[in-house]
Structure 1
Amino acid sequence: MTRAAVSAAAATACLAFATPAWASSTIPLHESQKGSTAAGFQTQDCDDERFDDLAANQDGWHFVLPGKDGGNFETLTLTFNDGTNDVEIKVPDATDAYPDYFYSTGGQSPRTIHAYVFTPAGWTLVDGSATISGEDEFFNLSHTCPGTPSSQSPSPSPSPSSSESPTPSASPSASVSPSTSESPSTSESPTGGTSVTPSSSVGGGTEGGLPLTGVAATSIALTGLVLIGGGVVLMTLRRRRDKITFTS
């Protein structure tokens, strides 16, 4: 009986000391790493072999537990913003919407302290929490591998549409400027100018002084002839009158 009691007490004591190591706890993402983007994170390492399956339009994220005695990752909950909405991702993801996995260290006592997540490129890490076996203060974002957002691929495609500049470059239509440059029609001004000079030379224009002078000389000459003729007639009549003698 004594031996049985001692054995039971020893087993209970062992379980009591072991229980804290088996308990799970929830820890947050390090505060300084909230709001990070893969492209803007200070540590980037695309040579990480666990990013080998990363697509060109995906960002790779590597999270790690910092403590040596903090236990293992059990679950990981991350919140990202896709530019419009917040998206929550759980690791492991039962829907397999985003590639992810836990990675364990080697050695005699392996620990699952690494977690990898692939998201569409350009997302922002807003917040995160992890359930671990054991206790720790926080977990870290170790490094990233940025991809190219697929939204940028259509952006070059508008450049062909912007190549519609040929159509707005209605420089052909602007070449109607020759038509608008009705300088030929305005060149009728020379024709009008030449028409003015002959009309003035004919005397029907403003320089009609010469024709008027000719007409005045003719009328004066005729008037003079009439006066001379009248004078001759008067002198003849007077001479005849002077030749008449009266006799009684």
Structure 2
Amino acid sequence: MPLRRRLTRAAVCTAATTAALAITSPAWALSTVPLNPAHVGATAGKFQQECRDPKFDTRPANQDGWHFVLPTNKAGDFQSLTLTFTDTGGASVRVTVPDPTDPYTDFLSANGNGDKQVKHAYLFTPAGWTLTGGSAEVSGEGDKFNLSHTCAGTASTGSPTPTPTTGSPTPTTGSPTPSVAPTESTTPGGSPSPSGSAGGGGGGDNGGSLPITGTAATSIALGGLALIAGGALLMMRRRRDRITFTS
């Protein structure tokens, strides 16, 4: 009887210890698995296209759709993904799935048909990005996860194409006509003076006439001297006529 009691007590303690361990231990140990190296460098436009995937129905036309999948049941379920991309400008971008700020475009999905295993992950990015790496936290064990298929979007252009306008001036042909230099006029004295200078034509600002130079001045001077000489002779003749002789 004592031996039987000791065996019963030992069995009860073992069962209690096992139950306690089962309660305190997780059913699955979380682990991190990398993206399949064969899919590093992929672009949505050059990968297998499956745009009929219902999960891509909400994808905007200018975004790429990405579908990632766990290859085996041993890996358990997706818990989260961390992916890196290079955008069209060459900058590195880090993306987390699911994204708590955008739950409608970056999300995890179960298999469906009553199967609640979360084996799928979806992501939308601007069109033209390049997948450069990633890792996934899973509830089981594994060595990788895969890019299953994509749906390429159409990149929006940065600026509208300018529309050519009509009525633009027609370029002239041939060499340009040389400009004509101002002509010079010659005054009667032979001194050249440029046309269009100040004081020409109608005179200066005060209405005065042009200065007299050259031959015109000489002629006037000679005329003046002739008048003076004539006047002198006239005076001498009158004086002579006034002289009277007395006896």
What TM-score do you get using the length of structure 1 for normalisation?
0.60
- 1:158 alignment counterpart: 161
Q: Please, which of 48, 52, 60 is the counterpart of residue 57 of structure 2? A: 52
Distance 1:144 1:119 in 2: 11
Give the drift of 1:47.
0.6
- 1:145 alignment counterpart: 151
Residue type of the alignment partner of 2:32: T
Give the drift of 1:70.
1.2
Q: Does 1:11 align with 2:37?
A: no
- 1:24 alignment counterpart: 30
Residue type of the alignment partner of 1:6: T
Residue type of the alignment partner of 1:124: T
- For residues 153-210 of structure 1, the C-alpha deviation after alignment (integer angstroms, 9 at most, x for no partner) is 63xx2342xx25974xx5x233xx38979xxxxxxxxxxxxxxxxxxxxxxxxxxxxx
- 1:106 alignment counterpart: 112
Q: How many residues are matched?
A: 168
Distance 2:66 2:90 in 1: 20
Distance 2:46 2:167 in 1: 39
- For residues 6-53 of structure 1, the C-alpha deviation after alignment (integer angstroms, 9 at most, x for no partner) is 31244367579x75x511000000001001110011x11101111001
SS at match of 1:111: strand
Over aligned residue pairs, what C-alpha RMSD do you find?
2.8
Q: Provide closer, same or farther for how the CA distance between residues 15 and 159 of structure 1 changes in structure 2, counting only shifts above 3 A.
A: same
Unaligned runs of 5+ in 1: 182-248
Give the drift of 1:108.
5.2
Unaligned runs of 5+ in 2: 1-8, 178-247
Q: Quick one: percent identity of the two aligned structures?
A: 45
- 2:171 alignment counterpart: 173
Distance 2:174 2:112 in 1: 82
Distance 2:144 2:44 in 1: 20
Residue type of the alignment partner of 2:101: T
Residue type of the alignment partner of 1:5: C
Residue type of the alignment partner of 2:71: P
- 1:39 alignment counterpart: 45
Give the drift of 1:99.
1.9
Contact persistence 2:59–2:105 (CA under 8 A): no
SS at match of 2:33: strand
- 1:80 alignment counterpart: 85
Residue type of the alignment partner of 1:115: A
SS at match of 1:110: strand
Contact persistence 1:98–1:117 (CA under 8 A): no
- 1:116 alignment counterpart: 122
- 1:91 alignment counterpart: 97
Distance 1:97 1:75 in 2: 13
- 2:72 alignment counterpart: 67
Contact persistence 1:58–1:119 (CA under 8 A): yes
Greater helix fraction, Structure 1 or Structure 2: 1
